[in-house]
Amino acid sequence: MIAAAAYQQSIDVASALPALQSATVRQECEHFGAAAYRVLTGCHPANAVIDDDFSFDRHVLASILAVAAMESGPVAERAGLAVADLAAMMAHWFPAACGMGFAHGGAAEPDDDETAMVRDLLLMNRSSDSDTSRWLAAMIARRAMEPNHLWEDLGLRDRSELTRLLSRHFAPIASRNTQNMRWKRFFYRALCESDGFVMCTTPVCTECRDVDLCFGDESGESRMADRRREASLAASLAPSAE
Ligand code: SF4
């Protein structure tokens, strides 16, 4: 049971993340993300230690909220959670951050069909019936609608963290990705198969023109590192004040 005061405070702190964003210029998105992460966890994301399951789950949830805070719009919507669920998650996972007294923010948009399909696929493949895995299913589905690699749009530091997340909380479907297919493509192929459709245009991947889409390299910079590099570049190109 979540205490009423902590629950209300969790609404406030969740809503404070976009305020954090509006208080600074957009070129400092990396700073917003790192600051939001620090508000939630007390450390910079680069320094997070995720050796045990609790620390890992906390890191994942903070990373998703931090990357959502880097974007325009309510954090609840960008993170894919109803406001009540975001508040409950904050009270459960980030109680220390609930006492910071930030103001209330906006509500999530209703899920579109595609988001709902991915979310329901994940819900059907949960490793447990915990609230955390339910929240994660909604968050992963919403972030899967963004254009970058899924691990990037979840705010994670690399793809291995996404694989660990899915293996830990959605083991039934994660264990089926035996060929290390890109996770978004893997979800869509699973959705096609469950509806009796076939996404694949050839019987074997080696003969398929979509092989790069399904199995291409997913390395790259994290969203925060990427924004930091953009800001540095912009600063170096800015005209001198002399
Ligand atoms: S590479 Fe082609 S055949 Fe293989 S999973 Fe992707 S779409 Fe299907």
User: How is the chain split into domains, by residue range?
Assistant: 1-109, 111-220
Question: Which residue's C-alpha comes closest to atom 7 of ligand 1?
Answer: 200
Residue 190 binned pLDDT confidence (cut-offs 50, 70, 90): very high
**pLDDT score recorded for residue 180:** 92
Asked whether 205 lines ligand 1 (CB < 6 A), one says yes
Under DSSP, the state recorded for 28 is: G
Closest ligand 1 atom number to CA of residue 202: 3
Q: Which residue has the tokens 């609230």?
A: 131
Asked whether 211 lines ligand 1 (CB < 6 A), one says yes
Measured distance CA(15)–CA(74) in Å, rounded? 7
Can you say how many angstroms the Cα of residue 19 is from the centroid of all Cα atoms in its chain?
A: 19
Contact 112, 28 (CB under 8 A): no
pLDDT tens for 207-231 read: 888 888 888 888 877 776 665 555 5
Is the Cα torsion angle 47, 52, 54, 56 positive or negative in sign? positive
Question: Which residue's C-alpha comes closest to atom 1 of ligand 1?
Answer: 211
**Amino acid identity at 123:** L
**Amino acid identity at 214:** C
Task: State whether residue 189 is helix, strand or coil.
Answer: helix
The CA–CA distances, whole Å, from 87 to 14, 99, 100 equal: 7, 13, 14
pLDDT tens for 140-169 read: 999 999 999 999 999 999 999 999 999 999
Separation of CA 149 and ligand 1 centre (Å): 18
Asked whether 210 lines ligand 1 (CB < 6 A), one says yes
Can you say how many angstroms the Cα of residue 74 is from the centroid of all Cα atoms in its chain?
A: 14
**pLDDT score recorded for residue 38:** 92
